[in-house]
A and B are shown apart, each in its own frame.
Chain A
Amino acid sequence: MADTLTQTPGPLVGAGYRHDSAHLHVAGKASYIDDEPEAPGLLHLAFGVSSEARARIVDMDLSAVRAAPGVVAVYTAADIPHANDVSPVAGDDRLLADGEVVWLGQPVFLVAATSRRAARQAARLGKIAYQRQDPILTVAQARAEQSLIEPTQRMARGDANAALAAAPYRLAGHLAMGGQDHFYLEGQIALARPLEDGQVHVLSSTQHPSEVQHLVAHMLGLSSADVTVEVRRMGGAFGGKESQAALYAAAAALVVYHTDRPAKFRADRDDDMVQTGKRHDFLVDYDVGFDADGRIEGLRLGLASRCGATVDLSPAINDRAMFHADNAYFLPAVEIVSERLKTNMVSATAFRGFGGPQGMLAIERVMDAIAGHLGLDPLAVRVANLYGPGRDVTPYGMTVADNIAPELIARLREDGDYEARQAAVARFNAENAIFKKGLALTPVKFGISFTTTHLNQAGALLHVYADGSIQINHGGTEMGQGLYTKVAQVVAQAFGVGLEQVRITATRTDKVPNTSATAASSGADLNGMAALNAAQTIRARLAEFCARTFGGAAEDVVFAGGQVRAGGEAMPWPVLCRRAHMARISLSSTGYYATPDLHYDRDAHQGQPFYYFAYGAALAEVVIDTLTGEHRVLAADILHDCGQSLNPAIDKGQIEGGFIQGQGWLTSEELVWDDAGKLLTHAPSTYKIPTANDRPDRLTVTLWNGTNHRPTIHRSKAVGEPPFMLANAVFSALGAAVMACNPAAGWPTLDAPATPERLLAAVARQRGGVS
């Protein structure tokens, strides 16, 4: 029965249902944490923050803060009853600085006041004396001081140096790529409330309720059972609320602990952008050897990232960069060296793709550089390097068993009219001095699973009520990606009832314990399976009850169309539920799932960290203005693999949104820090995510008509992160447009984001003959 369910999409699964909250979103009736009615006595919070990037705190005078209108209390590290720790793994993120500050903007003290404005005003009145040290900010500074969050990692196969020496062609280069702010529209927020007997309830806009629960408990010296964390929905997250939400939740819980009053921390946008981590910026160095067809024989790849002041999730993020430095290409002899630099900046954190985009952009640049060097079509070089028979093992020793990249690329090449459009672009470029166009087709192969193996587990709690209505709860969180809808579809289909029978409920740590973050694109894979497992348990009980009551075999009972048919009887679903309840059949069950077949030896960087790969490809056309460096993305055609999609409408939304977000990362979104380590781009006035007019005039999204070779939930594939990297096609197309200014100079050294300034400088170098 399980196998049937996981393999055959039914009338619900695979249908394009709208987001479960869409009717509430458009009416303004979807409730976010700040929309909760404010309880009497509610306190509002704000942090006083460090004005230095690296310093000892010599003295703190908070008398003006305490005396400010509306202030009820001010707390410092000394007021934390147990662990001053809001970190996901390493124990090194402080809720409030204790004696030293390690980045500019770091929370030092916490103000609780009767209004949000009063708290924010008072928080600026603290007088902190520092003994300043020179901060470590740049890659060069961190390298010079060997400032690392963990030892440099090396992933290798074969003898890269020998292969490089023996290769007919050899090319070295570098690529810098910037970080990215999540810019979730709902900023960080938590609302904590005291419960009886010292317990705490926290509403947190978090992707990881269990982690918030554990950190709050540990901070206060409580047990996990004393703390309940709840999240119905987030107003966007994108990885930025995987570990970063804990800071605000812990602050609110600390105030509850001391005051026994409810406390809300809603971070102002500017404060949020200063105080929370972003995508890692990377500096890539490559040295590649290849043959006359552009096929790689040997590669040395350096991936250096600025991780910020603490460990956060940087080890796993940088690991994923290494895992995706092959993208869809076979690297016969390869050495990938990954430096994880510790800098006095806000700790870089998870962001959609989790290091994958950076690793993947690196190898795409290598492909382009080879093509530029040999004068070949970049797509020909890409195709020559794809995984294939006899060339199907990744640098980390995993066999690529589901390689659909060659056929997927071939389809997009044909449907997107690649050859004719390249010819048209060449004609355009020959006729235009000011404008240059570029066209590029790049693939995506993204590994699905948490690379930290134990995280690949999930739980669900399913109740069927005697009236036939169903409540589903699971450990996954809803951040707009449609997870709740997909899981509801799975549950409804398992019982053969309509979606309206299923009530989706807020994620709570008191319903499903010990959950993993909703991250790594795994939400539907893990929680969908856990929910299905719970549904199967109840369904088996009902089938057995039917067989016993109406005759026939339990496995012959059919649940479909709101009816249950057994032994010649047919009855509406609610009738069966009522009868089962009267017959004392349990209609409630937990469900559980753990992804099989995963193993990884991190010391050797060898193993099978992924259950499967999700694929996609994009064909992008751009134009640049060689006078100003401005550009536009003119068209994008996307072909993406969701296996057997659970919900094509939701998946297309993820694909389009991911692509545009990736386009922003690579074009207009630029983070700028000054020499003191201060972030200068901390608001939408200075940090520019794409607007509606940045969407290409033509943007087509087609789902690859395929399946998953693994028995995932209804043979679907994860879709959260992979489409982000489809935007690599935009970046390659921009490179192609710059190269068109002087093809003899080879592929340009264009860094990301490709702002007008970077593009104009690249054009000047290209025309000067120095790419």
Chain B
Amino acid sequence: MALRFVCDGELVELDGVAPGDTVLDFLRGRPGKTGTKEGCGEGDCGACTVLVGTPVPGADRLDWRAVNACIQFLPMLHGKAVLTVDGLGEGLNALQQTMACNGASQCGFCTPGFVMSLQGRAMGAVGCDLPVGDVLAGNLCRCTGYGPLLEAGAQHPPAGRDDAPLLAMLRGATGPACGHATLPDGRTARWFIPDNADALATLLAQYPGARIVAGATDVGLWVTKKLVDLETVIFVGDVPELGIIEDGAEGVTLGGAVRYADAHAALARLSTELGELVRRLGGLQVRNAGTVGGNIANGSPIGDGPPALIALGATLTLRSVRGRRTMPLEQFFIAYGQQDRAADEFVESVFVPRPGGQDVVHISKLSKRFDSDISAVCGAFRLTVEQGTITAARIAFGGMAATPRRAAQAEAVLTGAPFTAETMATAAEAIRADFAPLSDVRGSAAYRLEAAGNLVWRLWHQAQGQAVRVQEVAHG
């Protein structure tokens, strides 16, 4: 029952863990484990990057991934191994030697996080096939300008690793778990880790007020920034049925707790546009923890994933002890902060239909920074074009309303119209009429409207085979 995991090669068993205790606070409170730093406490700077290894059922290896320890809760480590900069062994390994000698550190405070991101890549962790710049996009450095860090990554490509010793230590440490602790104000906080979906449904029926936590990339901030003391938490990140990825002919089915990093390949096969969106959704550490289901269930008005999924025609399946129900994704978002989920329901799966050969798909995310930013505008289009005529149109936007929402007027204008520049001009204006966005730190209402309409033109030019993203432009 106790929480058990391996920390830098040492088996740890803990009682009295509260659901909101963070991995970072645990580490920094242990002698010799202060190498992992806190830079922001919200998963945006990567200074606290550690690697978490999860035993892969039926294989003799661990699934390693880099995560932000500041917004990972300690119970989420149950049955896993965590590797920190302090556990890399005596002396410096080859990666560390490169970084020590090539100017990869100046003030040194972000350095352990960069070491662990690049160590993960060198160990073949999730995302190791990405370009080094994408592996590091969730690590901020304010001193170096990143050159030596990128260089160090290039010099240490992914390689294998023997996980057998850790697997042996973890044997018997996995399985369901629960725990409780007394909060400072005297309340009792409880957490549960069910090991199957039925158990999860039963727990939710028993504790309808429980907070469901998958990757904690959102709820983590409630704890570190809003200073909420979580009371009852059910961790669903390792429920096997919620981890399925079915890449079928009709489309992709994702379990509710599939992490974005794991969904990335299947979604990119579905649509390269969707793959590009996922590449820019958080840093790798965030995609390694954050789930597609969580991104939907938290009901963000921006929610970078949902607008694209809505445009592609995704459906959502909720489950409880009472049974299942499936709905078009857009119907889940009722109003700001309000979703169509009963207290005892959880997101079981999302199905994303595969676009056909006649579908023109375009997805654009506009933000102040390309990587690890939240959209000012996220626009997603699926136009079905048959013999020069648009026979169906699905358009959804994030950042333009209180919820991710479809552009009804633009869809109406496009449906049945010829796929021409003239039609695009009309559609751009229709999109501007569809929404009345707010002004906030990410952009003004005027910018949002102007740019949202212009995305139709981007779609058009892309359909003509032109480059439409500045990333596609070379110097010289």
Decide yes or no: A185 and B39 within 8 Å by CB, A26-B104, A480-B108, A693-B371 being known contacts.
Answer: yes
Residue in contact with A760 in the complex, picked from B42, B97, B451, B458, CB distance below 8 Å:
B451
CB–CB A634/B473 < 8 A: yes
Which of A360-368, A465-473, A623-631 sits within the interface? A623-631
Q: Which residue of A has the minimal Cβ distance to B468?
A: A434
* Cβ contacts under 8 Å, B86 to chain A: 28
CB–CB B99/A480 < 8 A: no
Least CB distance, A711 to chain B, in whole angstroms: 28
Q: Which residue of B has the minimal Cβ distance to A658?
A: B145
* Cβ contacts under 8 Å, B373 to chain A: 688
Least CB distance, A491 to chain B, in whole angstroms: 21
**B457-476 residues at the A interface, CB under 8 angstroms:** 457-458, 461, 466-471, 473-476
Residue in contact with A668 in the complex, picked from B35, B142, B369, B458, CB distance below 8 Å:
B369
CB–CB A628/B37 < 8 A: no
* Cβ contacts under 8 Å, A504 to chain B: none
CB–CB B103/A623 < 8 A: no
Q: Which residue of B has the minimal Cβ distance to A113?
A: B184
Decide yes or no: A668 and B107 within 8 Å by CB, A26-B100, A69-B184, A186-B39 being known contacts.
Answer: no
Number of A-B contacts (CB under 8 A): 279
Least CB distance, A440 to chain B, in whole angstroms: 13
Does B155 belong to the interface (CB within 8 Å)? no
CB–CB B106/A18 < 8 A: no
In angstroms, Cα B38 to Cα A25, docked, is 15
Residue in contact with A652 in the complex, picked from B84, B103, B450, CB distance below 8 Å:
B103
Does A463 belong to the interface (CB within 8 Å)? no
Does A653 belong to the interface (CB within 8 Å)? yes
Residue in contact with B149 in the complex, picked from A18, A659, A692, CB distance below 8 Å:
A692
CB–CB A32/B370 < 8 A: no
Residue in contact with B368 in the complex, picked from A182, A649, A670, CB distance below 8 Å:
A670
Decide yes or no: A760 and B475 within 8 Å by CB, A35-B34, A434-B468 being known contacts.
Answer: no
Which of B166-174, B201-209, B239-247, B441-449 sits within the interface? B441-449
Does A621 belong to the interface (CB within 8 Å)? yes
Does B455 belong to the interface (CB within 8 Å)? yes
Residue interface mask B345-385, A partner, CB < 8 A = 1: 00000000000000000001011111111101000000000
CB–CB A757/B369 < 8 A: no
Does A151 belong to the interface (CB within 8 Å)? no
Which of B110-118, B121-129, B309-317 sits within the interface? B110-118
Least CB distance, A663 to chain B, in whole angstroms: 9
In angstroms, Cα B274 to Cα A216, docked, is 56
* Cβ contacts under 8 Å, B185 to chain A: 69
Does B136 belong to the interface (CB within 8 Å)? yes
* Cβ contacts under 8 Å, B143 to chain A: 236, 480, 653, 657
Q: Which residue of B has the minimal Cβ distance to A680?
A: B441
In angstroms, Cα B368 to Cα A757, docked, is 8
CB–CB B475/A634 < 8 A: yes
In angstroms, Cα B450 to Cα A761, docked, is 9
CB–CB A757/B96 < 8 A: no
CB–CB A696/B475 < 8 A: yes
Does A589 belong to the interface (CB within 8 Å)? no
Does A482 belong to the interface (CB within 8 Å)? yes
CB–CB B142/A183 < 8 A: yes
Residue interface mask B22-63, A partner, CB < 8 A = 1: 000000100100111111111011010000000000000000
Could you jot down 26 A-B contacts, CB within 8 Å? Answer: A23-B92, A27-B92, A28-B85, A30-B108, A34-B34, A34-B38, A118-B184, A124-B227, A185-B110, A187-B39, A269-B40, A480-B106, A625-B469, A627-B454, A661-B142, A685-B374, A691-B139, A691-B370, A692-B132, A692-B146, A693-B134, A693-B137, A694-B371, A695-B146, A699-B145, A756-B368
Known: A692-B136, A760-B447. 5 other contacts (CB 8 A): A117-B227, A434-B461, A627-B454, A684-B42, A757-B376
- Identify the B interface with A (CB < 8 A): 28, 31, 34-42, 44-45, 47, 84-86, 88, 92, 96-97, 99-101, 103-112, 115, 132-134, 136-137, 139-150, 184-185, 225, 227, 364, 366-374, 376, 440-444, 447, 450-451, 454-455, 457-458, 461, 466-471, 473-476
Sorted nearest first, the 10 A-B pairs with minimum C-beta distance are A28-B35, A480-B107, A235-B109, A25-B108, A480-B106, A656-B145, A634-B475, A28-B85, A684-B44, A660-B145
- Identify the A interface with B (CB < 8 A): 18-19, 21-32, 34-35, 37, 69-70, 117-118, 120-121, 124, 182-187, 233-238, 268-270, 421, 424, 434-435, 437, 479-482, 621, 623-625, 627-632, 634-635, 649-650, 652-653, 656-661, 668, 670, 672, 680-681, 683-686, 688-699, 755-757, 760-761, 764
